[in-house]
Amino acid sequence: MSILADVARIAGVSKSTASRALSGRGYVSDGTRRRVEDAATELGYVVSSTAASLVTGRTRNVGVVIPYINRWYFAEVLEGIESALIRAGYDLTLYRLSTDRDLRRRVFDYFLVRKRVDAVISVAIDLSPHEVQMLQALGKPLVGIGGRIDGIPSLSIDDVEIARLATEHLLSLGHRRIMHVGGDQNEQMDFRVHSQRYTGFSQALRDAGVIVDDDFRQADFSIEGGYAIGLAVLGDPRTRPTAIFAGCDEIAIGITVAARQLGINIPGELSVIGVDGHPLAEMFGLTTLAQQPGAQGARAVELLLNQLEHADAAPPDEHLLLPTALTVRSSTAARRDAAV
Amino acid sequence: MSILADVARIAGVSKSTASRALSGRGYVSDGTRRRVEDAATELGYVVSSTAASLVTGRTRNVGVVIPYINRWYFAEVLEGIESALIRAGYDLTLYRLSTDRDLRRRVFDYFLVRKRVDAVISVAIDLSPHEVQMLQALGKPLVGIGGRIDGIPSLSIDDVEIARLATEHLLSLGHRRIMHVGGDQNEQMDFRVHSQRYTGFSQALRDAGVIVDDDFRQADFSIEGGYAIGLAVLGDPRTRPTAIFAGCDEIAIGITVAARQLGINIPGELSVIGVDGHPLAEMFGLTTLAQQPGAQGARAVELLLNQLEHADAAPPDEHLLLPTALTVRSSTAARRDAAV
DNA sequence: ACTCCATCGGGAACCGGTTCCAGGTCTCAC
DNA sequence: GTGAGACCTGGAACCGGTTCCCGATGGAGT
């Protein structure tokens, strides 16, 4: 492995000139630059990013903490982040935070702190004030995706609002027996996404003066989770809802599969609406509120790099609310038995 | 930010002693160690991994190159790798390699080379001899998952064999009009997974003396891909196969959804078998050859760390073939019209 | 009493870059 | 002719640790 000193020697210049020539910072004559570059390629020289980081204090590496990888929304966000970072010449170091508190502590107290990352993106993780403060004390820019975090810029969709919108869509179609199948209200990791979606749902019902006694089921945020609830809820034709607002498209799809299996016609006997814009939604004719997680990831990177590269730049607005698109397909329709 | 010298000063010892006390290498008396540790916690000191890497030449960071994130098998492998690395105190730097040749070159020529990673895991990427040689020249251990790469240890399932096994399962049930719905035979990234599965499939047919004229359809490796092919292939009852060997569970599930939609009974009129052990397989009653991608990732990390931490240790066997489990569910059954 | 060895601690040389500073040349304007 | 300023280069300090080498201490063995 050749080092800068070798390159300098071959090119017949000093280390400092070689460094300037290769990094493009500072004055170097064209001829010298060429000689250095030739020497570098001849030797197959590549800078040691460790050495460079040590002196500059910047690693060109961003840490990403994320609770799941194998779930559409998260994978999509991650891909968006990865592409944007690579394009900007940054590395991405991945930390998956399970519900394990010890592991979480280790990631924050040990991994993220060692001057190894320049900044952190936190995806759908409700950082504690202590965690935020620890990272900020290190002067590391921090951006959140998927929920609001006090004191740091973050971006997400408006969970209360989309839930309200989805529910209003069902209400406007004449549905009254509406159920929300969503996530665990008390889950720690996912911000308050689940409870916010429930809130929007109930607000819409309340505003419409609709009272539903059995209005919620908790499901795993997956197709299997939706399927299991679907089978459980849709069996009895006398009690089953005429419309379901699912907490995400995976759940909605699971419910759809269960309904089809039970011979329940969608949207004839049951309307279903989801949230996400999952690629499978189209195949199942699912009406959904589409968001673009990949774009969210890219946007977060943009905010971060802006802070990193113009240290003077004020940190961006506290919280950005991103748009969703109501995509109506064939899974929602007017209630058939128009009379209640 | 406090540095080692601060800790040493507070503890009343030299930098070298402080370093020894904190790293646990070399002789330090218990009392001294305690004083140093106290000083360190008091100051909130954390080593600079950059500085440490510069002098030791080891980063405790592993690079992972992977073509997809948002696909079950890959996400699962990635999770397995991530957990295993974190547990061992290693970081994971993620590089997603799309089909973009330029990006791929950049990752290999620039990102992976800067002494930033100690080792590389390549998931389902058919490395060129040049790429392998470049990494080996840097002395970086390298392990492949998902296919055989000449000259480096790798692990995967036996794609020819599982395809043969799946096909034989269908043959033994009396099926003769069998179709394989698989991936693009010429795809660059995915080793020769696709063509190997086709090979095993044809071998099984040939060995059984079965000739099928329309035996293959190419599909995107996703539920949507399987669904599209399913609709296209299953429409005509006179020409449609009685059994399908799908290249992966996602395709098989897509075909299942299409079949249900067309009112085709599985397994009455159509048997379907997949590969993977996707969590959705159970819900769809899908017979499959289950592999454990997460375990594969963990195993790869194990091989890698062994090489890293016992540099003397010989690199492991060239290629490990991992087992799969034929999991029979309700999607495969004996052909109904027993006489052909 | 003397050697030997294990234990403990400090000084200083690194690791491989970046950057500040100083010195020198050349051009241009006054 | 002189000063200002842009351009070019080398020397040396520095980033923050790790580790080699050496000296000191003290208990055990003979």
Q: pLDDT tens digits, chain A, 340 residues: what are they?
A: 799 999 999 999 999 999 999 999 999 999 999 999 999 999 999 999 999 999 999 999 999 999 999 999 999 999 999 999 999 999 999 999 988 889 999 999 889 988 899 999 999 998 999 999 888 888 899 999 998 888 889 999 999 999 999 999 999 999 999 999 999 887 766 678 899 999 999 999 999 999 988 999 999 999 999 999 999 999 999 999 999 999 999 999 999 999 999 999 999 999 999 999 999 999 999 999 999 999 999 999 999 999 898 766 666 667 899 999 999 999 999 988 644 4
Q: What is the least distance, in Å, from the CA of A165 to any CA of chain B?
A: 28
pTM of the predicted structure, to 2 decimals:
0.94
- Partners of A79 on chain B (C-beta within 8 Å) are 69-70, 96
Contact criterion met (CB below 8 Å) for A217 and A178: no
Inter-chain CB proximity B96 and A107 less than 8 Å: no
| C1’ D16 / CA A185, Å | 46
Kindly report the bases of strand C lying within 7 A of a protein C-beta atom: 7-20
Mean pLDDT by 10 residues, chain B (340 residues): 94 96 93 95 95 95 96 97 96 93 91 92 92 88 90 93 98 97 79 90 96 93 97 94 97 98 96 98 98 97 90 71 96 76
Q: State how far the Cα of B159 lies from the Cα of B155, in Å rounded to an integer.
A: 12
B295-330 pLDDT, tens digit per residue, is 999 999 999 999 898 766 666 667 899 999 999 999
Q: What is the least distance, in Å, from the CA of A70 to any CA of chain B?
A: 5
Burial class (CB in 10 A: 0-12, 13-18, 19+), A134: middle
Q: What is the least distance, in Å, from the CA of B76 to any CA of chain A?
A: 7
Q: Which residues contact B144 (CB under 8 A, 6 or more apart)?
A: B121, B122, B123, B125, B127, B152, B153, B154, B155, B156
Interface of B with A in 246-265 (CB under 8 A): 254, 257, 260-261
Q: State how far the Cα of B85 lies from the Cα of B80, in Å rounded to an integer.
A: 9
- Partners of A331 on chain B (C-beta within 8 Å) are none
| C1’ D27 / CA A255, Å | 78
Inter-chain CB proximity B83 and A96 less than 8 Å: yes
Mutate to test the interface with B, among A4, A53, A70 (most CBs of B within 10 A): A70
Residue at A68: amino acid letter: Y
Consecutive H or E run containing B296: helix B293-309
- Partners of B279 on chain A (C-beta within 8 Å) are 222, 224
The answer to whether A83 contacts chain B (CB < 8 Å) is yes
Q: What is the least distance, in Å, from the CA of A75 to any CA of chain B?
A: 5
| C1’ C17 / CA B93, Å | 22
Q: Give the residue nearest to nucleotide D12 (CA to C1').
A: A16
A248-265: burial string, b at 16+ Cβ within 10 Å, e else: bbbbbbbbbbbbbeeebe
Strand C contact with A43 (CB < 7 A): no
The answer to whether B88 contacts chain A (CB < 8 Å) is no
Q: State how far the Cα of B321 lies from the Cα of B165, in Å rounded to an integer.
A: 15
- DSSP structure class, residue B113: G
